[in-house]
Amino acid sequence: AKEEGRNSYRFYSKEMTTLAFERLVMEENLQQALENKEFRLYYQPQFDTRTGEISGLEALIRWEHPKLGLLLPDQFIPLAEENELILKIDRWVMRTAMEQFVQWYEEGLNPGRLGLNLVIRQLNSSDFIRTLEECIAQTGFLPSWLILEISEEQVMSKPDEYIKKLQILHDMGITIAIDDFGTGYSSLAYLRRLPVSMLKIDHSIIEHIPENTDSVAIVKAIIALTESLGISVVAEGVEEEKQKISLMEYGYYYMQGYYYCKPVVADEIEKLFLKK
């Protein structure tokens, strides 16, 4: 059957550009990767610098490609997002991470909350909420443990359309976070109307702290804004101590980045943090 598949690619490729051909192959490979269990889930901890404890873990997917090695999400998620494949992949992510969290909590360990990346295609899919409820019921995961992260760019593309759906999730007890915050054009009006209780500040802003006065002004403005709205903030991409120190001075507590830990597999999370 594999041989047949290859021949049909060759047939199609005559009418297609190389790029379209490569995409077709990649889509086919992504489908097979799910079946062959080639995806791996990594976790990156988030810390509360006041206590030094883990406040949560963000699940980040990797693809252990049999020929190409470990692939990062930017190398395959954008393509998967163009069709229904992302729904299947993220369903796997959701289930795997929830099972892991339930296991940790049952062992008496405390991984904090689980951050899952959500894309608009999921929010638009008619059975996303049912899938989520099913997954929660089947694994024994608690909705209050969950943070759904959606990028500012995606949610602000059509905020009015998404308010209702995000409200349903919020009413289930799930935390909604705006990811990559500071890269798009959120208006204060929308931040008020969206049921959002967390912002994750994009690493491109954190990167220039404390040297760049514009970046400093932005992170200070965000803190001032979120305090009045009761929204918590996470600084992403913290790589150096000076960033951490400055951010703490401005009133930031929650941090995530290579300075603390890069994304690692569940066993490493246990060894480094949960069972130490």
- C-alpha 161/C-alpha 79 separation (Å) is 24
**Which region among 14-22, 70-78, 138-146, 154-162 touches ligand C2E (by CB under 6 A)?**
70-78
Distances (CA, A) of 64 to 33, 68, 80, 258: 9, 8, 16, 22
Closer of 191 and 238 to ligand C2E (Cβ): 238
Q: To 5 degrees, how large is the angle CA 106–CA 234–CA 54?
A: 30
Of residues 86-145, those binding ligand C2E (CB under 6 A): 90, 93, 117, 119
In the block, residue with structure tokens 């990156």: 44
Q: Is 44 in the site for ligand C2E (CB under 6 A)?
A: yes
The radius of gyration computed from the CA coordinates of the chain, to the nearest angstrom, equals 20
Identify any residues that bridge with 41 across adjacent strands, giving them in sequence order. 61
Q: How far is the CB of 85 from ligand C2E (least distance, A)?
A: 11
Among 61, 176, 199, 235, which residue interacts with ligand C2E (rule: CB under 6 A)? Answer: 61
For ligand C2E, which is the closer residue by CB, 40 or 170?
40
56 binds ligand C2E (CB under 6 A): no
Stretch touching ligand C2E by CB under 6 A, among 29-37, 54-62, 157-165, 264-272: 54-62
Chain positions contacting Ca ion, by CB under 5 A: 117, 149, 179-180, 236
Of residues 180 and 266, the one with the C-beta less far from ligand C2E: 180
Residue 257 CB, nearest approach to ligand C2E (Å): 3
Q: How far apart are the first and last CA of the chain?
A: 49
Measured at the alpha carbon of residue 210, what is the angle toward residues 205 and 215, in degrees to the nearest 5? 35
- Structure tokens given for 180: 């990559």
